[in-house]
Amino acid sequence: MGLEILIAAVKALTVILMVLSLAGVLGWVERKGSALIQDRIGANRASIFGFAGAGLVNTMMADPLKFLTKEDVIPTGVDKLLHTLAPCVNLFPVIVAFAAVPFGDTVEIAGRTIQLQAVQLNVGVLFVLAMASLGVYGVVLGGWASNNRFSLLGGIRGSAQMISYELGMGLSVVVVVMTFGTLDLQEIVRAQGHMIGGILPGWGVFYQPVAFVLFFIAGIAETKRVPFDLPEGESELVSGYFTEYSGIKYLMFFMTDFAEIAVISALVSTFFFGGWQVPFLGDDGFHFGSTSMALPKLIVVLLQLASFMVKVLFFCWFQIMVRWTMPRLRYDQLMRFGWKGMLPVSLLNLVVTAVVIVAFQEWRV
């Protein structure tokens, strides 16, 4: 019993540390990425005792320290409890959503099989969607509890946007569930382990390319970043729903942003890019057609972990590049795109998938 709790605690801690450190790293990557695109050097001013060489480490230490030591301003005439609660409510579902994402297959330590996943849920897909739908509260509360017109506008825009794009996201996930026939995220990843015709990895993206594009767009919209950053819209709303936040609470909103990028990347890898699967890698080593290369179990597990991390980091990087290359949509364009573009296409995709699955039962993965 005690050991079970210890294992669960270690896994939970791993997930929390993974999300938070990824968020910290992404804060630096975002600045360096923007500098790269804008032809600057960028983010090289954080020096510790005159040593500015280690950019990443310095920024990761300097940023939180700066926010922690700043004054925490609570504006007058606000609901103090809700004002303080908003950043916490914003950050919580993002971190919790990560708990259902499998980051590796099972490992056996001292005769005990351990799932490399913080919580094993039969309904992992629904759990992730539930947490995504809770993300709206932080935005709404932050906007409402700030006693500021810009914040309120940002909050209303944010909630309308998130509700609209949740539909496209949910429907594209439904298609994935239909393809793999399970709601368990670990099972979805396992189902992507085979090769199509011996050359192409059996990843979701090759079965459902349309769903992948829809999910990724909806995911970027859920993170409320350019080209969907209307709720923040610096040139119109100062900083949108978190205009009135400073110090540690601002840092929490800031971190939510990056944690959301990480979670969307993890979900895209899980649903469409085989999660921790490595092409040609089986339980006991690589298999290329008739030739195979045996590997010890530990190496296989490490390769799988690395594969998951590489995929997640790639999609994080991709999202940051999208943010710095796209212009912002207008609000009516955003709504029209969500309701008249994404929704019909995802519904059509759903119908086509259903027909194909019923007509060709053997196609089912």
Partner 1 sequence: MNTGVFVLLATLLVVAALGVVLARSPIRSALSLVVALFFLAVFFLLLDAQLIAALQVIVYAGAIMVLFLFVIMLLNLQEHPAEMARAGLRFLAGTLASLFLLATIYFTNRSGISNAQGMGAIPDGFDSTAQIAERLFTQHLFAFELTSLLLLVAIISAVVLAKKKLA
Residues that bind partner 1 (CB under 8 A): 79, 81-82, 121-123, 126-127, 129-131, 133-134, 136-137, 140-141, 143-144, 152, 155-156, 159-160, 163, 183
List C-alpha distances in Å: 321 to 29, 31, 47, 317, 318.
Answer: 10, 11, 26, 6, 5
Task: Indicate the residue among 45 and 149 with the shorter CB distance to partner 1.
Answer: 149
Min CB(8)–partner 1 separation in Å: 15
> What is the phi-psi region of residue 264: left when phi exceeds 0, alpha when psi lies from -120 to 50, beta otherwise?
alpha
Instruction: Say if residues 75 and 142 touch (Cβ distance below 8 Å).
Output: no
For 34, residues 6+ apart whose C-beta sits below 8 A from its C-beta are 40, 42, 320, 324
Amino acid in position 103: F
Q: Write down the residue that tokens 């100062």 correspond to.
A: 238
The half-sphere exposure of 355 on its side-chain side, counting CA atoms within 13 A, is 6
Whether a cis peptide bond, with omega within 30° of 0, leads into 227 is yes
Min CB(122)–partner 1 separation in Å: 5
Min CB(176)–partner 1 separation in Å: 14
Task: Indicate the residue among 24 and 93 with the shorter CB distance to partner 1.
Answer: 93
Min CB(141)–partner 1 separation in Å: 8
Task: Indicate the residue among 55 and 143 with the shorter CB distance to partner 1.
Answer: 143
Min CB(293)–partner 1 separation in Å: 39
For 331, residues 6+ apart whose C-beta sits below 8 A from its C-beta are 157, 230
Min CB(136)–partner 1 separation in Å: 5
Task: Indicate the residue among 46 and 97 with the shorter CB distance to partner 1.
Answer: 97
Min CB(211)–partner 1 separation in Å: 19
Measured from the Cβ of residue 291, the count of other Cβ atoms closer than 10 Å reads: 7
Task: Indicate the residue among 134 and 305 with the shorter CB distance to partner 1.
Answer: 134
Task: Indicate the residue among 223 and 307 with the shorter CB distance to partner 1.
Answer: 223
Min CB(269)–partner 1 separation in Å: 22
Task: Indicate the residue among 19 and 131 with the shorter CB distance to partner 1.
Answer: 131
Task: Indicate the residue among 155 and 202 with the shorter CB distance to partner 1.
Answer: 155
Task: Indicate the residue among 160 and 305 with the shorter CB distance to partner 1.
Answer: 160
Min CB(126)–partner 1 separation in Å: 4
> What is the phi-psi region of residue 10: left when phi exceeds 0, alpha when psi lies from -120 to 50, beta otherwise?
alpha
Task: Pick the closest to residue 151 from 164, 162, 138, 163 (CA basis).
Answer: 138
